[in-house]
Amino acid sequence: MNVSNAPDYAAIKSKQNAAWASGDYARIGTTLQIVGESLAEAMDVRPGATVLDVAAGNGNATLAFARRWCNVTSTDYVDALLARGRGRAEAESLPVTFQVADAEQLPFADAQFDAVVSTFGVMFTPNQAKAASELVRVCRPGGRIGLANWTPDGFIGQVFKTLGRHIAPPAGVSSPALWGTKGWIEERFGSQAQSIAMTPKDFIFRYRSPAHFMDVFRTYYGPVHKAFLALDQASQVALEKDLLATIASFETATDGTMRVPSAYQEIVITKA
């Protein structure tokens, strides 16, 4: 890519930071806790291992590994989210180190951690190649990198695709859902991996109704919250209609509630 045409990653991250800090992501993040627990089991990391949670949000993976007696460092570039994770850890008397950090420029030494993990976090970095290389850099040889990433064709992948039809994504930035594809993961990690295990999974979004989901996500989920704020009234109505149609295309409940499976990949990479 010509340098003059390269995305302004600093500006993009500044806007992303503001988006994720808006609303109250922790209210939604806590509903995803089972994903962190599942990843911790799949990683099978020994007690006492050093674990870095990258783009940790409010700490789902952080808590899961700390509950298994790992020495966890929890990082995010949104300090308010780390504060929520800290509160959760304190409530459970779990000793966790919290540190503000950019996933594309991790302030840690090469090979510092036994395991490096991220659940629905690092996939949203604008400079995806740099973020992937940082995960590898700070993981020791023989250590493991564990990821939970939404897929392009799954529910959340389609939610972001729907948002992109109403609010243009930053120029030059690839879809976060690439992190949920076999080809992209193998391209970014294959040359530095002993093995890559990818397990297709579903997280089930359970809400009182599709309207309840819309209300929660419009209020608390930063990217959706910001998208609606950026649109005029007519455009907001159109976006809500399209999002409800996306929900309907995945809906499995028949009683008026919402039960929507969202495909993701649970990934365990063993570093060479």
120-173 pLDDT, tens per residue? 999 999 999 999 999 999 999 999 999 999 999 999 999 999 999 999 887 878
> pLDDT of 37-67, one tens digit each?
999 999 999 999 999 999 999 999 999 999 9
Q: What is the pLDDT of residue 185?
A: 98
Concatenating the DSSP letter of every residue in 43-92 gives HTPPTT-EEEETT-TTTHHHHHHHTTT-EEEEEES-HHHHHHHHHHHHHT
Nearest to 53, CA basis, from 133, 138, 118: 118
Question: To 5 degrees, how large is the angle CA 133–CA 184–CA 170?
Answer: 80
193 or 4, greater pLDDT: 193
Alpha carbon distance 88, 98 (integer Å): 12
| pLDDT higher than 50, residue 3 | no
Model pLDDT for residues 244-265, shown as the tens digit of each residue: 999 999 999 999 999 999 999 9
Whether 232 shows a pLDDT value over 80: the answer reads yes
Q: What is the CATH number of domain 7-204+262-271?
A: 3.40.50.150
C-beta of residue 138 within 8 angstroms of C-beta of residue 113? yes
Band of residue 5 on the pLDDT scale cut at 50, 70, 90: low
Cα(131)–Cα(127) distance, integer angstroms? 6
* 122 DSSP 8-state letter: G
Distance CA(218)–CA(30), nearest Å, equals: 17
Query: Which tokens hold the place of 202?
Result: 């579903």
Going from the C-alpha of 223 to that of each of 11, 173, 230, the distances in angstroms are 16, 15, 11
pLDDT at position 95: 97
Does residue 2 carry a pLDDT above 50? no
Tell me the pLDDT band of 238, cut-offs 50, 70 and 90: very high
Q: If residue 13 lies in a helix (H) or strand (E), which one and from where to where?
A: helix 9-21
Q: Identify which has the larger pLDDT, 19 or 217.
A: 217
Look at residue 211 and tell me whether its pLDDT is greater than 80.
yes
Placement of tokens 């295309």 in the chain: 249
Locate 231 and state its tokens. Answer: 């649109």
Give the model's confidence band at 85: pLDDT under 50 very low, under 70 low, under 90 confident, else very high. Answer: very high
Name the band, by pLDDT with cuts 50, 70 and 90, for residue 1.
Answer: very low
Rounded to whole angstroms, the Cα distance separating 260 from 208 reads 12
Instruction: Give the residue-averaged pLDDT of 187-209.
Output: 98
Residue 82 banded pLDDT, cuts 50, 70, 90: very high
pLDDT at 4 over 80: no
Which pTM was predicted? 0.94
